[in-house]
Amino acid sequence: MVGQTLSNKEQAVSFGNSIRRAMGSFIEKYFKYLMITPLTVIIAAVAMYPFLFAVRLSLTNARTINFRNPNWTGLKNYMNILISLRFWKAAWVTLLYVGGALSLEIVLGLFLALLADKATKGQKWYVSLLITPMLISTVFAGIIFRLELNPEFGIIPYYLGKIGIHAQLLDTRHALLTVILIDVWQWTSFIFLIAFAGLKSLPVEPFEAAKVYGAKAWQTFRYVTLPLLRPVLMIAIIFRMMDAFKAFDHIYILTAGGPNFATTTFSVLAYNYAYTMDHFGMAASMSVLLLIVVIFITKYFLKLAKWK
């Protein structure tokens, strides 16, 4: 009787230990996912609802007068956009804007990061000064440059005139270059900051080996620094590319897409469709097309970085 009681107790203890081990294994594997599930669901809902709403809106003829109950038009908005010369003009302007701004920002940002990495004195002040433009609101930056570029009292035309340059910086010929340079002024600091942080995290052994083998400064940069920094630079490029495709604030404040559509990017054209032409369906279609373009270009850059 006593032996049977002890056997039952041992079985109960063994069963309890099995349950605890199973629970421990479950918690170890899945508890972390359970903890982040509520937040993930909330973020997904917040992100997905506007996207799905935009997709639905792009398939209708939504305007102010029928916004609550628009008529279903299917892919008509997309077809109208793709055969529109204004769309292809905006696509070309957007590509020039993104390509020009991103190229200059990468070169200047990386160059400044290399200089800051080599600085021995005042490095903190140097870094703090260089990231200041990034901290300024794009709307405020647009207002500042609108005043500074004013042909009557702007400081930039004044000093350019002193050296013999009398061009109108916001005319059809120069407006796009002007807004690109303003973007470069503000966002080179973003590339600089990420590249600088990446340089600080690189291992020293490859550089010591290059020095031992007599590699010159350019060879060290080309075959050691740049390959090691490649994943970090790709992160910076992808984020800046996505942001540049969406650029709107300073462009609209400075030129409103003009003159003669010279600075009408995707974002400006979508805004004009929605609030100038009162066609929210076309504006939503533009937004969806922009998203598709950005996704494909991002996948290309991820492939360049050799990420899976």
pLDDT given for residue 175 in this prediction: 93
**Entry pTM:** 0.84
pLDDT at 229 over 60: yes
Partnered with residue 60 across adjacent β-strands are 72
Q: Which of 99-108, 240-249, 298-307 has the lowest mean pLDDT?
A: 298-307
pLDDT category at 10 given cuts 50, 70, 90 is low
pLDDT for 13 beyond 70:
no
pLDDT band at 170 (very low <50, low <70, confident <90, very high): confident
Phi, psi of 92 (to 5 degrees): -65, -45
285-288 LR contacts (CB < 8 Å, sep 24+): 285/58, 285/77, 285/78, 285/81, 286/81, 286/87, 287/54, 287/58, 288/54, 288/55, 288/58
Which of 175 and 47 is assigned the larger pLDDT? 175
User: What's the pLDDT at 21?
Assistant: 66
More confident residue, 20 or 81: 81
Alpha-carbon distance 234 to 266, whole Å?
A: 23
pLDDT value, residue 288: 92
Over residues 74-98, mean pLDDT:
93
DSSP letter for 223, please: I
pLDDT band at 26 (very low <50, low <70, confident <90, very high): low
Is 169 a residue whose pLDDT tops 70?
yes
Give the pLDDT score at 6: 44
Q: What percent of the chain has pLDDT over 70?
A: 89
Q: How confident is the model at residue 262 (pLDDT cuts 50, 70, 90)?
A: very high
Q: What is the mean pLDDT of the chain?
A: 86
* pLDDT recorded at residue 28: 67
Integer Cα distance of 46 and 175 in angstroms: 37
